[in-house]
Chains A and B, each alone.
Chain A
Amino acid sequence: MSEAMPVLEVRGLRKSFGAVDALVGAELICPAGEVTALVGDNGAGKSTLIRCITGVYPPDGGAIAFKGAPIGFASPTEARALGIETVYQDLALVEDLTVWQNMYLNREVEHGIGPFRWLDRRRMIAETEAKLERLLVNMPPVRAKVRRLSGGQRQSIAIGRAASWGSALVIMDEPTAALGVRERGAVEALIGRLRGEGVAQLVISHDLEQVMRISDSVWVMRRGRTIARWRTREVDRTRIVAAIAGAEG
């Protein structure tokens, strides 16, 4: 199987929560300019794997390499500094803040004189508009509080935020699970656009039709372990379903 230079490489990753072994041997390779799909039943360990990669949880064992260099992410901030952005299942949006405040959360642009620093609101509002306009089909008002947006709009903001900051790797945990057909199409278009820009994307999805449509490779997890991997064009849905259920690998 021919692969571009991997942006992310995970080997034998282990993670336990007390008596629960969430990861017992997770493997993953995400090459640049490709969409890597991660599939598996509920509780297979997909979310935990992502949280280890992004520094939310420290792994108990195994190795993570980013652009060839081994890393031990101590915090989400370090992962983000390297260019890894994540759209969590819960979207990590603050409902009582506006779209632009969420877009720039912990990345605020400030004016300042000496130790006195205050927000450059005008610039953040303008740049939020510019960034989201380039990526989104259906642009929500950037000054509105997220509380007032629809589920689809929120999803778009979360992905738009990750995409516009994440230069090397964007990770999405079920990006379209809560969306209608049209909004799902818009998100898939966004994923295609980012792929063209050379971004490595890791997408968790339960929608195997979608996996077949958008991904370059498929990785299957079961009970904390990676049990199968294919190039998407060399596999069909039935074999993926069988692997998820434990009939293969």
Chain B
Amino acid sequence: MMPAGAAASRVPAGIEAVLRDPGFWGDNAAVIGLLVIGVAFSLLTPFFLTWGNISDLLVSASILVVLATAQQFAIVTAGIDLSIAANLPWAAVVFGLVYTGGFGIPAAIVAAIAAGMIVGVVNGLIIAKLRVNDFIATLGMLGVMNGVALIVSDGQSFSVSSPFLQALALGSIGPIRYFYLIAIVIALAAHFLFTRTAFGTHVLATGGNRDAARNMGIPVDRMRIAVYVINGALVGLAAILLVARTGGSDPSLQTSQLLSSIASVVLGGSSLFGGRAAVLGTVAGALVLTTLLNGFTLLQVSEFYQPMAVGIVVIAAAVLSRLQR
């Protein structure tokens, strides 16, 4: 018979084994990072762990969550979307022009999402049909769409206000703000798509082993176009959120949103080589980046330190992810 002490020490031993497994740290880098940062800020300032602040934090993470999910679709096929930095303001400008032109909110919403999707279609066609590398194709579209957005807006940002946008930016169902409700729904839908549908499985297969997918009869070119179309639609949606939050349409490049979207996906544990989609990790990654900024603001750390901290976190996560199973 086993002494009582030995039996009691077995549970901690199991946990210890998990903690000693480097794969555990690699697979859950973003969630662990989020916990560590959260605990640190809670100890450093009493203002961090209040419902008001957490709610603000989630609201400011929402646009990034939608953009990072969009980025996830490109990255899962071993691609990347650099054109997000221009597609986002382009779709925002289209939204603003259609709405201020008097066509109403429903038309503006449809137009913004269609504007984002058109960029996605073009990206997908250049990549899958013209066989241009994803990086180059979307780098090209970054320039093209930046120019188009500047031309149609005459380089001016203009204010767009409507009761609908105000309700979207500030309204809530009970304690839950519409803003992050939308982000949560998008992330869960993407997670469902990748884990529970044939389409998602075919996308993963296309990203993981394109030749195998082709051999199994999966139309890999169509899959690669489809992910950029979904990506574009999500960027269009993010643009609507952006207009609601900032109260205007601004044609200038959104470079930091682009970098943060890539960083979120990397933090979340998805491989840049494709085939692996960790949507919930990506959400955690976006929350890590937003929490860092939120905590630094509360602690009144100079904003000059913020990009540095984000950069260090991304590199640390990339190192951790080498431990992945």
Contact between A108 and B201 (Cβ–Cβ < 8 Å)? Answer: yes
Contact between B192 and A118 (Cβ–Cβ < 8 Å)? Answer: yes
Q: B39 to nearest A CB, angstroms?
A: 32
- Provide the A12-41 mask, 1 if CB < 8 A to any CB of B, else 0: 000000000000000000000000000000
Within 8 A of B (CB), among A43-94: 56, 75-77, 80, 86, 88, 90-94
Q: Is B160 an interface residue (CB 8 A)?
A: no
State A91–B197 Cα separation when bound (angstroms): 23
A90 with B217, Cβ < 8 A, contacts A96-B275, A97-B201, A118-B192 known: no
Q: Which of B209, B215, B275 makes the CB contact (< 8 A) with A56?
A: B215
Interface centre among B202, B209, B215 (most CB of A within 10 A): B215
Within 8 A of A (CB), among B168-206: 192, 196-198, 201-202, 204-205
Contact between B211 and A90 (Cβ–Cβ < 8 Å)? Answer: yes
Q: B165 to nearest A CB, angstroms?
A: 30
State A97–B195 Cα separation when bound (angstroms): 10
Q: Which of B192, B198, B208 makes the CB contact (< 8 A) with A95?
A: B208
State A93–B275 Cα separation when bound (angstroms): 12
State A56–B216 Cα separation when bound (angstroms): 10
State A88–B271 Cα separation when bound (angstroms): 26
Across the two chains, which residue of chain B brings its CB closest to A110? B198
Contact between A106 and B208 (Cβ–Cβ < 8 Å)? Answer: no
State A96–B216 Cα separation when bound (angstroms): 16
Contact between A93 and B212 (Cβ–Cβ < 8 Å)? Answer: yes
Within 8 A of A (CB), among B200-251: 201-202, 204-205, 208-209, 211-218
- Provide the A169-196 mask, 1 if CB < 8 A to any CB of B, else 0: 0000000000000000000000000000
Which chain B residues border A76 with CB–CB below 8 Å? 214-217
Across the two chains, which residue of chain B brings its CB closest to A161? B216
Which chain A residues border B216 with CB–CB below 8 Å? 76, 92, 105-106
Interface centre among A80, A106, A108, A119 (most CB of B within 10 A): A106
Which chain B residues border A117 with CB–CB below 8 Å? 197-198
Contact between A94 and B211 (Cβ–Cβ < 8 Å)? Answer: no
A101 with B217, Cβ < 8 A, contacts A95-B209, A96-B208 known: no
Contact between A94 and B275 (Cβ–Cβ < 8 Å)? Answer: yes
State A117–B192 Cα separation when bound (angstroms): 11
Contact between A94 and B217 (Cβ–Cβ < 8 Å)? Answer: no
Within 8 A of B (CB), among A115-132: 117-119, 121
Q: B319 to nearest A CB, angstroms?
A: 21
Across the two chains, which residue of chain A brings its CB closest to B215? A92
Q: Which of A56, A92, A119 makes the CB contact (< 8 A) with B212?
A: A92
Contact between A97 and B196 (Cβ–Cβ < 8 Å)? Answer: no
State A105–B216 Cα separation when bound (angstroms): 7
Contact between B201 and A101 (Cβ–Cβ < 8 Å)? Answer: yes
Which chain A residues border B215 with CB–CB below 8 Å? 56, 76, 86, 88, 92
Which chain A residues border B205 with CB–CB below 8 Å? 94, 97, 105-106
Contact between B204 and A94 (Cβ–Cβ < 8 Å)? Answer: yes
Across the two chains, which residue of chain B brings its CB closest to A101? B201
Contact between A97 and B208 (Cβ–Cβ < 8 Å)? Answer: yes
Q: B268 to nearest A CB, angstroms?
A: 15
A108 with B275, Cβ < 8 A, contacts A75-B217, A77-B217, A97-B205 known: no
Contact between B198 and A94 (Cβ–Cβ < 8 Å)? Answer: no
Across the two chains, which residue of chain A brings its CB closest to B206? A94
Which chain A residues border B275 with CB–CB below 8 Å? 94-96
Which chain B residues border A77 with CB–CB below 8 Å? 217
Q: B272 to nearest A CB, angstroms?
A: 13
State A90–B210 Cα separation when bound (angstroms): 12
Q: A127 to nearest B CB, angstroms?
A: 16
Across the two chains, which residue of chain B brings its CB closest to A158? B212
Q: B118 to nearest A CB, angstroms?
A: 23
Which chain A residues border B204 with CB–CB below 8 Å? 94, 96-97
State A88–B215 Cα separation when bound (angstroms): 9
State A106–B199 Cα separation when bound (angstroms): 9
State A88–B217 Cα separation when bound (angstroms): 13
Contact between A108 and B198 (Cβ–Cβ < 8 Å)? Answer: yes
Which chain B residues border A106 with CB–CB below 8 Å? 198, 202, 205, 216-218
Q: A123 to nearest B CB, angstroms?
A: 13
State A93–B211 Cα separation when bound (angstroms): 9
Interface centre among A56, A90, A94, A119 (most CB of B within 10 A): A94
State A77–B216 Cα separation when bound (angstroms): 7
Across the two chains, which residue of chain A brings its CB closest to B213? A94
Which chain A residues border B218 with CB–CB below 8 Å? 105-106
State A62–B216 Cα separation when bound (angstroms): 25
Binding site for A on B (CB under 8 A): 192, 196-198, 201-202, 204-205, 208-209, 211-218, 271, 275-276, 325
Extra pairs beyond A93-B209, A105-B205, A106-B198 (7, CB < 8 Å): A76-B217, A94-B204, A94-B209, A97-B205, A105-B218, A118-B197, A148-B325
A-B contact pairs, 8 of them (CB 8 A): A56-B215, A76-B216, A77-B217, A92-B209, A92-B216, A93-B209, A105-B213, A110-B197
Binding site for B on A (CB under 8 A): 56, 75-77, 80, 86, 88, 90-97, 101, 105-106, 108, 110, 117-119, 121, 148
